[in-house]
């Protein structure tokens, strides 16, 4: 690893450590002081981490906190009474209700990462896929629904080049893709068939945490079960679950912002 790359990694780790030490949130000046990194450099690192959904930024008090997506990966919310456990319970109920596998993803450009997954009863006898795992944003219902939740200009600025280089041909050109996001935005959910893998389908809805949509909840299964008719029937349940998760995580987010205990 080049010296410049090694230095960047060390700075990023130092910033993450400084933020993680303050579950109630911490401002730029304090992060710079505790990490020993110049304020301007610290600001750039924080911006990147916030854009990548590793950190969240409270727009009111400008304080940074480690995101649920990152905490769920490193075990910070794995307590029996924590937000991660409560989120998994919601997924368990959705899987029981729909009889299909359900999951919870976070947007980590240019991919989405599955951070929780509950197998449905019909998955018995099959080997579940590993969690966490990353999947291309273009080939997943969660990726598409999370892009649709972004401001259109943000998608253009941040994803146009990535689309040209990596998106599959069947999606058409970027303008066509943007139009498909408009449809998803209008419906409130995304439905994909034979994109991540042949014979697989999924439906996803975004999960709002205050004024952002960093997460998505999904239901996945074989195409012969997850038909268009099934989607029409099941979408309301998925949207209800999305709202339930939004309420749960927004309360958790406010508790953390106010320095209140999560458990």
**Euclidean distance between CA atoms 46 and 113, whole angstroms:** 20
Q: Write down the pLDDT at residue 56.
A: 83
Task: Return the bridge partners of 133, or none.
Answer: 114
pLDDT at 2: 47
User: Which residue from 175, 256, 209 is spatially nearest to 53, judged by alpha carbons?
Assistant: 209
Take residue 217 and report the two structure tokens written for it.
Answer: 């909840």
pLDDT of residue 1: 45
* 8 Å CB contact between 136 and 195: no
Mean pLDDT, rounded, of the chain: 83
Give the pLDDT mean for 214-240.
Answer: 95
pLDDT at 195 over 50: yes
Mean pLDDT of 93-106: 93
Half-sphere exposure (CA, 13 Å, Cβ side) for 2? 3
Q: Which residue has the higher pLDDT, 62 or 78?
A: 62
Distance CA 87, CA 58 (A): 22
Mean of pLDDT values over 189-195: 95
The larger pLDDT score, comparing residue 223 to residue 66, is at 223
Distance between CA atoms of 225 and 231, rounded to whole angstroms? 10
Q: How confident is the model at residue 72 (pLDDT cuts 50, 70, 90)?
A: low
Whether the per-residue pLDDT at 255 is higher than 60: the answer is: no
19 class by beta-carbon count within 10 Å (0-12 exposed, 13-18 middle, 19+ buried): buried
- Residues 225-246, mean pLDDT to the nearest whole number: 96
Q: Quick one: pLDDT at residue 113? A: 81
Tell me what pLDDT residue 256 has. 47
Q: Decide if pLDDT at 221 tops 90.
A: yes
Tell me which range, 7-16, 62-71, 139-148, 161-170, is most confidently predicted by mean pLDDT: 139-148
Q: What angle (nearest 5°) sits at the alpha carbon of residue 156, between those of residues 11 and 246?
A: 70
CA distances from 217 to 21, 116, 125 (A): 29, 10, 24
Q: What is the mean pLDDT of residues 169-186?
A: 93
Among 87, 131, 115, 90, smallest CA distance to 252 is for 87
- Read off the pLDDT of each residue in 202-223 and give the average, rounded to a whole number: 92
Burial class (CB in 10 A: 0-12, 13-18, 19+), 27: middle
pTM for this predicted structure: 0.71
Look at residue 253 in the predicted model and tell me its pLDDT. Answer: 57
pLDDT(261) > 70: no
Find the range with the poorest average confidence among 58-62, 66-70, 140-144, 235-239.
Answer: 66-70
- pLDDT of 121: 82
Poorest-confidence range of 33-42, 182-191, 222-231?
33-42
Alpha-carbon distance of 214 to 236, in angstroms, equals 21
pLDDT grade for 4, boundaries at 50, 70 and 90: low
Q: Are 145 and 189 in contact, with CB atoms under 8 Å apart?
A: yes
Confidence of residue 234 (pLDDT cuts 50, 70, 90): very high
* pLDDT score, position 262: 34
What is the four-CA torsion angle of 138, 143, 145, 151, rounded to 10 degrees? -90
């Amino acid at each position: 690893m080049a010296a410049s790359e090694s230095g960047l990694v060390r700075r990023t780790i130092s910033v993450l450590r400084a933020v993680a030490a303050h579950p109630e949130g911490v401002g730029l000046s304090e992060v710079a002081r505790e990490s020993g990194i110049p304020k301007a450099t610290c600001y750039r690192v924080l911006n990147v981490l916030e854009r990548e959904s590793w950190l969240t930024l409270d727009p009111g008090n400008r304080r940074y906190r480690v995101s649920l997506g990152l905490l769920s990966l490193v075990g910070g919310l794995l307590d029996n009474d924590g937000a991660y456990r409560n989120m998994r319970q919601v997924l368990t109920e959705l899987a029981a209700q729909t009889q299909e596998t359900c999951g919870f993803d976070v947007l980590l450009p240019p991919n989405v990462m599955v951070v929780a997954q509950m197998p449905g009863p019909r998955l018995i006898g099959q080997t579940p896929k590993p969690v966490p795992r990353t999947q291309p944003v273009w080939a997943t219902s969660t990726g598409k629904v999370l892009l649709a939740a972004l401001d259109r200009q943000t998608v253009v600025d941040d994803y146009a080049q990535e689309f040209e280089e990596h998106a599959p041909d069947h999606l058409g050109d970027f303008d066509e893709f943007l139009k498909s996001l408009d449809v998803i935005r209008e419906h409130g959910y995304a439905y994909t068939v034979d994109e991540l893998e042949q014979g697989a389908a999924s439906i996803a809805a975004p999960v709002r945490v205050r004024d952002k949509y960093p997460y998505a909840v999904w239901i996945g299964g074989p195409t012969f079960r997850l038909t268009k008719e099934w989607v029409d029937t099941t979408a309301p349940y998925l949207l209800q679950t999305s709202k339930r998760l939004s309420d749960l995580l927004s309360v958790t987010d406010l508790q953390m912002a106010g320095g209140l205990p999560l458990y």
